């Protein structure tokens, strides 16, 4: 029985983040962000409501007990589906990019390279400041790739610092590569200019000998 349950958990409740990594390019996961536990409050309340309906069902006659029974089943089903949806929504930060995987039966993946993230806004409501969560709002390039907003991120300040460090490292690496390319281009242009310039240090041809003027003869 353990085998089928494990297979079902992997098939439905595992987003399989490793499959989306560029392992041959050296991509590794820096941080895998799950939703804050506050998103599970409503599913828990729905389960409690379903238990209350089951208690009411016991005290009702048989011909009327089916109404709270159906209501309890619907609440349980909705709570489980909502909790599973929140569980499968992952925001992943790697050394090359950020991407978001969500969906239970169907998958939706939004990704953008680290260098295309220009601005990050952290929105922390009053409850988020107390409980330790916030919402990420990506602007410009990330917005175009479907990463407009990532909600209920735990420890948002630390996650923001992680992205900023990756941006800094990527920026320094890109600057060094651009500098090497510019230096290589300048060397090629200088060599081509030197080769095309005419040589000015060729030996000079000797001119005709100049005639020396003899002094006039002295009178005797």
Neighbour-count burial for 113-124, b at 16+ CB within 10 Å, e otherwise: ebebbeebeeeb
Residue 87 has pLDDT above 60, yes or no: yes
Q: How far apart are CA 202 and CA 207, in angstroms?
A: 15
Residues 6 or more apart whose CB falls under 8 angstroms from that of 133 comprise: 36, 38, 124, 152, 153, 154, 156
3-state helix, strand, coil in the chain (%, to 5): 55, 20, 30
Other CB atoms within 10 A of residue 210 CB: 6
Tens of pLDDT, residue by residue over 48-86, are 999 999 999 988 888 888 999 999 999 999 999 999 999
Count H helices and E strands in the chain, helices first: 6, 7
The pLDDT, as a whole number, for residue 14 is 80
Encoded tokens for 190: 């200088």
21-176 fold: PH-domain like (2.30.29)
The pLDDT, as a whole number, for residue 219 is 60
Q: How confident is the model at residue 145 (pLDDT cuts 50, 70, 90)?
A: low
């Amino acid at each position: 029985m353990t085998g089928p349950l494990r297979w079902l958990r992997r098939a439905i409740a595992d987003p399989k983040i490793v499959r989306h990594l560029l392992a041959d390019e050296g991509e590794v996961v820096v941080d895998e962000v799950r939703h804050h536990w506050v998103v599970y409050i409503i599913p828990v309340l729905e389960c409690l409501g379903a238990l209350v309906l089951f208690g009411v069902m016991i005290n009702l006659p048989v011909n009327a007990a089916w109404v709270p029974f159906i209501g309890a089943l619907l609440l349980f089903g909705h709570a489980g589906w909502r909790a599973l949806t929140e569980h499968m929504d992952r925001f992943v930060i790697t050394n090359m990019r950020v991407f978001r995987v969500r969906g239970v039966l169907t998958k939706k993946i939004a990704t953008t390279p680290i260098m295309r993230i220009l601005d990050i806004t952290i929105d922390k409501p009053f409850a988020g400041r107390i409980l330790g969560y916030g919402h990420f709002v990506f602007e410009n390039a990330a917005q175009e790739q479907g990463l407009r907003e990532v909600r209920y991120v735990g420890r948002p300040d630390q996650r923001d610092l992680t992205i900023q460090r990756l941006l800094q490292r990527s920026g320094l690496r890109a600057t060094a590569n651009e500098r090497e390319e510019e230096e290589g281009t300048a060397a090629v242009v200088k060599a081509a200019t030197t080769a095309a310039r005419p040589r000015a240090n060729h030996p000079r041809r000797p001119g005709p000998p100049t005639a020396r003027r003899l002094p006039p003869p002295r009178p005797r």
